Amino acid sequence: MRKAPTILHLDMDAFYASAEQASKPSLRGKAVVVGGLGPRGVVATASYEARVFGVHSAMPMGQARRLAPNAAYLVPRFGFYKAISEQVMGLLRELSPLVEPLSLDEAFVDLEAGGTAWDEASARLAGAKLRADIRAVTGLTGSVGLAASKMLAKIASEQAKPDGLVVIEPGTERALLGPMSVRILPGVGPATGDHLRRAGIHTVDEIVEAGEDELVRLLGKAHGHGLYAMALAYDERPVVAERETKSVSVEDTYDVDIHDRVRVSLEVQRLADRCVRRLRGAGLSGRTIVLKVRRYDFSTLTRSETLRGPTDDPAVVREAALRLLEGVDSTGGVRLLGVGVSGLADFTQEDLFAQAAGEEVDQAVEEAADDAPVQEREAAAVERRWVAGHDVRHAEYGHGWVQGSGLGRVTVRFETPDSEPGRVRTFLVEDPALEPAEPLPLTEDVPGAQASASSVPVASLPKSRSGNGGGADTSRP
């Protein structure tokens, strides 16, 4: 393991919720929950104000509403979040060619590989500059952890939350890890954690005390050896710039179980088309088509078919997925469907199984479908495009966002990222003056903004973009 803390872990603070607060002045300093709003929806991200009430990621949305009934509940705007993420990842790649994204809001960076840092002092400067640049470019905050390994850098960023920077100095790792729960170590999930707990092992120090042989006996050779090394603060995993894509897949969970076999077939075809668009977008093709079906009783079935050669033909993928569906009993209802393609290649080959080879996907269908969650699409269908939290523009009042919709009316709050909290107005859902709009940027695109940000001392920056304004329960108009 390297001697200097030159592995950086960045974790954007409550990313989706913070992006929503930054774009909606009336929500700054308020409890905001982002996720699927249907009966089976789950929380994607909760703002720190919502976390005070016990709301957290992956919690059922119904439970979140009970804990924080007055919070603003918004449907995710994934295109908006992705655009911000690309800005952040661009800043990281300026620090080093070795950037390993883990999600839209999280990544590892090897600062030493980029010549950006070589000791503790230079690593601190790089981390401080990154945080200032992120604020200047996106208006958001991120927490930075610096250490000699990926495991420790991630632990440091957790300690830095929110909006902070923590460096774990070489030589202090064992003392830091010792009293922590075993769940802090990579690879220790709920099942492994319970297994260790039943053996009387609760902390990292107790793993070390148990010894490597006992870990191997409890968890097996590979897992035991690896976990013992982690407990001793040894983590040799490198930062990997490009991860090989092994599969491309899409899936949807339905608020109400689907019982109609025809509807199931149509959903499978739609998912197959979405999957192919992602496949083509990545410049890939694949040989193995995979169908995933979760039934009413939560039993999950996976079926696959391998073609003679790689394809990115939507007709081929649709037909293969439908053939797989024929062998699945959907009696009782289906709550989740997924279609994937694996055995990937960067070229295509004419598929001899294709009955409709050369067919093009109907352009109208291609343009109408999108990669948004099913809850978002169904909400749009019911509410005539007016999805809670999404952007709109009115011919007279300008830019705003949907605060709620129902009973033939839509309530809109008119404000922009750089305005004061705006006024709320209600319209008929068919009002011709109201139309969907693209999100506005969070900050002005001023040339040189990033360069100037690097000279701003971190201590001089405000802790958060807060603002005053009335509460907003966007689940109701």
Query: Active-site residues: which are they?
Result: 106
Task: Let me know the angle formed at the C-alpha of 278 by 275 and 280, rounded to the nearest 5 degrees.
Answer: 110
In angstroms and rounded to an integer, the radius of gyration of the C-alpha atoms of the chain is 25
* HSE-up (13 A, CA, CB side) for residue 243: 12
**Nearest residue to 366 via CA among 441, 264, 272:** 272
Q: Both tokens of residue 442?
A: 């969070």
Q: In the 8-state DSSP scheme, what is residue 179?
A: T
State the Cα–Cα distance between residues 152 and 169, nearest whole angstrom: 10
Q: Both tokens of residue 373?
A: 């969650």
**Nearest residue to 400 via CA among 368, 427, 379:** 427
Q: Both tokens of residue 28?
A: 């700054």
Task: Give me the long-range contacts of 189-196 (CB less than 8 A, separation at least 24).
Answer: 192/219, 192/223, 195/219
State the Cα–Cα distance between residues 100 and 113, nearest whole angstrom: 13
State the Cα–Cα distance between residues 89 and 130, nearest whole angstrom: 11
In a 3-state reduction of DSSP, which class is residue 58?
Answer: coil
For every residue of 313-341, DSSP letters joined together read -HHHHHHHHHHHHHTS--TT-EEEEEEEE
State the Cα–Cα distance between residues 222 and 164, nearest whole angstrom: 35
State the Cα–Cα distance between residues 322 and 54, nearest whole angstrom: 43
The answer for residues whose C-beta is within 8 angstroms of residue 314's C-beta and 6 or more apart is 272, 273, 276, 359, 361
86: burial class by Cβ within 10 Å (0-12, 13-18, 19+)? exposed
In a 3-state reduction of DSSP, which class is residue 378?
Answer: helix
Would you give the end-to-end CA distance of the chain in angstroms? 56
**Nearest residue to 9 via CA among 139, 160, 138, 141:** 160
In a 3-state reduction of DSSP, which class is residue 281?
Answer: helix
